[in-house]
């Protein structure tokens, strides 16, 4: 299996621009997570999908962030407008089943907002 695939790997953008991050989970995994990692705050769960349905978006920082999962093989995380404080590494992870901590992470998307 190819694992969790994320794109882009690196994104540099200017404040106010729209950013879209993409994720393809492992085939057959029905749980998908978007995390953000920074030195200051560590790993933070942004949103959790189960069977393509958003279950918990309480970690989404504010209305500028949105996430979708139109089908079992694709998810997006969008930031509009972006701000310098959004600079972080964004990870997508998937798992087989809902109540498991056995997550498979993608390589991450490193976002820099100038």
Is residue 72 at the binding interface for another protein, with CB under 8 A as the rule? no
Report the distance separating Cα 71 and Cα 64, nearest Å: 22
Q: Tokens at residue 10, please?
A: 């690196």
Is residue 114 at the binding interface for another protein, with CB under 8 A as the rule? no
Report the distance separating Cα 107 and Cα 7, nearest Å: 9
> DSSP of 76-107, one letter per residue?
EEEESS--GGG-EEEEEEEESSSS----EE--
Is residue 83 at the binding interface for another protein, with CB under 8 A as the rule? no
Give, as ranges, the residues between 14 and 53 that touch another protein (CB under 8 A).
Answer: 31, 33, 42-43, 45, 48, 50
Name residues whose C-beta falls within 8 Å of residue 69's C-beta, 6 or more positions apart in sequence.
32, 49, 52, 53, 54, 75, 76
CB nearer to another protein: pick between 65 and 90? 90
Is residue 71 at the binding interface for another protein, with CB under 8 A as the rule? no
Give, as ranges, the residues between 89 and 108 that touch another protein (CB under 8 A).
Answer: 91, 98-108
CB nearer to another protein: pick between 12 and 15? 12
Residues that bind another protein (CB under 8 A): 31, 33, 42-43, 45, 48, 50, 55-56, 91, 98-108
């Amino acid at each position: 299996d190819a694992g969790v695939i994320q794109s882009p790997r690196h994104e540099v953008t200017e404040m106010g621009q729209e950013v879209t991050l993409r994720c393809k989970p492992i085939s057959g995994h029905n749980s998908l997570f978007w995390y953000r990692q920074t030195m200051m705050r560590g790993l933070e769960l942004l949103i959790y999908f189960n069977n393509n349905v958003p279950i918990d978006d309480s970690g989404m920082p504010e209305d500028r962030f949105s996430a979708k999962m139109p089908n079992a093989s694709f998810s997006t995380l969008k930031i509009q407008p972006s701000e310098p404080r959004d600079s972080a590494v964004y990870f997508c992870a998937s798992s087989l089943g809902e109540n498991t901590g056995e997550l498979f992470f993608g390589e991450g998307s490193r976002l820099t907002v100038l």
